Amino acid sequence: MAALNTDSKKKEVELKANPLAGLLVFRSMVTGVKTVQTDGLPDDLKAAFSEAITTLNRTTEVFDGWPDKPDEVLAYLKERMKEDPRYMENFSAKMNAMGKEMDAMSKKMDEMGKKYGFDNLQTADSPSK
C-alpha cells in the first residue's frame, strides 16, 4: 500500500500539469493493484478482489492503443476522430458502460470493507474522521 500511496502522490503532480494524464494514470493504478497478494484472504473477499481486477482490466482495455505520454493524447484523439468521426461517441458509450461496472465493483468492495472492517482505512492524504 505504501508503494501505491507514493505512486499516487507522483501522479497528483502529473495531473496538475496535464489533466489528460488522469485518463492514463488509471492504467498504472491497475498495474499496481494487480500486485496485491490475496493469499490467505477469506474466499469471498478474494473472489471480490479478483472480480474487481477483472473489471479494472476491462476498463483499461478502453484505452488500448492510446499513447503512454499524456501530452500525446490530444494529438492521438484528433487523429482517431479524423479516421472515425464517431470515435468520441463510441468511446463515451464504452466509458459509460464501464462506469456502471465500476460502480457495481465499488459497491461490492465497500460491502467487503464493511464485512471485514477495512471500510475506514485511511491513507496519509485522507482526512481524519
List C-alpha distances in Å: 13 to 2, 18, 22, 26, 69. 17, 9, 11, 15, 14
CB atoms within 10 A of CB 21: 19
Contact 73, 24 (CB under 8 A): yes
The contacts of residue 52 (CB under 8 Å, 6+ apart) are 33, 105, 108, 109
Please state the length of the chain: 129
Residues 113-118 have a mean pLDDT of 87
Identify each DSSP E strand in the chain by its residue range. Answer: none
The contacts of residue 125 (CB under 8 Å, 6+ apart) are 5, 8, 9
Residues 40-65 have a mean pLDDT of 91
**Dihedral over alpha carbons 61, 66, 69, 72 (to 10 degrees):** -150
pLDDT tens digits, one per residue of 60-93: 888 888 888 878 888 999 999 999 999 999 999 9
Q: Is this model's pTM higher than 0.85 or not?
A: no
pLDDT value at 19 more than 70: no
